[in-house]
Structure 1
Amino acid sequence: MRGARTAIGARRRLFTLDVPLETPDGFGGVVRIYQPGPRVWGAIEAVALDERERGGRPEDAVTHRVRLRHRAGIDGRMRLILGARRFAIRAASDPDGRGRETLCLVEEIKP
């Protein structure tokens, strides 16, 4: 997958990686809040637009692909912030196994 690598100049968007902080809620669950973490440069592209139902109402789910410089430890509990837009990370991986970049599949969170 050598040709799929993103040129460093294409990573011109500055994201904030939101890190979750979980505290027990006293009932066996947790309360999750987010704290701004490191700022990372990345490239973003839309890959799908799905329509689904949530609460009996139709809702659009926009899925994007975000390519970042390699960063270990990114998981599905984290979020990416780009200006006023928020993205839930659905999957993160090292696409070629060389530790050069991290590919995140994300879904935009609508307010």
Structure 2
Amino acid sequence: MNNVLFIDPGQLRSELVLEAMQPVPDGMGGYAEGWVEIAMIWGRIEPVSVTNRDFGTRPQPEATHRILLRFRPDITSDKRLRKGERVFSLRAVHDPDETGRYLICLAAEEGR
């Protein structure tokens, strides 16, 4: 039986920037997070859910998305994607049919 997933590459219409965290010295022996651009890639962003997480007395909504991308070996869960001002932290990355053609990323949108 053939388990190859069919994905229409024409659906990859969102221009995304792949970023990696780069530590920036803070002058006191520690570091702050800085993000550097690695590549521009095309993908499809699909909203999955919105949940409220409790932080003290004020609930904080968290929007999750499924992002479909062409396969790249450097896309891992320690990276993030940016579309304009929107930032997506990658929570999980997997090859849906293990053919090395596409990746599906589960991401949380920061600041929303």
- Give the TM-score normalised by the residue count of structure 2: 0.85
Over the matched positions of the two proteins, sequence identity in percent amounts to: 34
Q: Does 1:2 align with 2:4?
A: yes
Q: Distance in 2 between matches of 1:55 and 1:73?
A: 37
What CA distance in whole angstroms lies between the structure 2 residues aligned with 1:84 and 1:50? 21
Pair member with larger Rg? 2
Partner of 1:45: 46
Which aligned pairs between 1:1-111 and structure 2 lie closer than 5 A? 1-3=3-5, 5-22=6-23, 26=29, 30-110=31-111
**Distance (whole Å) between structure 1 residues aligned to residue 109 and residue 87 of structure 2:** 6
What's the secondary structure of 1:2's corresponding residue?
A: coil
| Structure 2 Cα separation of the partners of residues 23 and 38 of structure 1 | 20
Ranges of 4+ aligned residues in structure 1 off by more than 3 Å: none
**CA shift for structure 1 position 23:** 5.0
Distance 1:87 1:93 in 2: 16
1:44-97 per-residue CA deviation (whole Å, 9 max, x = no partner) reads 101111111124310110000000000112222211001111110001111111
What is the DSSP-based 3-state SS (H/G/I as helix, E as strand, rest coil) of the residue aligned with 2:10? helix
How large is the Cα RMSD of the aligned pairs? 1.8
TM-score normalised to structure 1 length: 0.86
1:36 is paired with a residue whose SS is strand
User: Are the counterparts in 2 of residues 6 and 67 from structure 1 also a CA contact under 8 Å?
Assistant: no
Could you say what secondary structure the match of 2:74 adopts? coil
Counterpart of 1:39, as a letter, is M
Letter in 1 for 2:53: R
Q: What are structure 2's unaligned runs of at least 5 residues? A: none
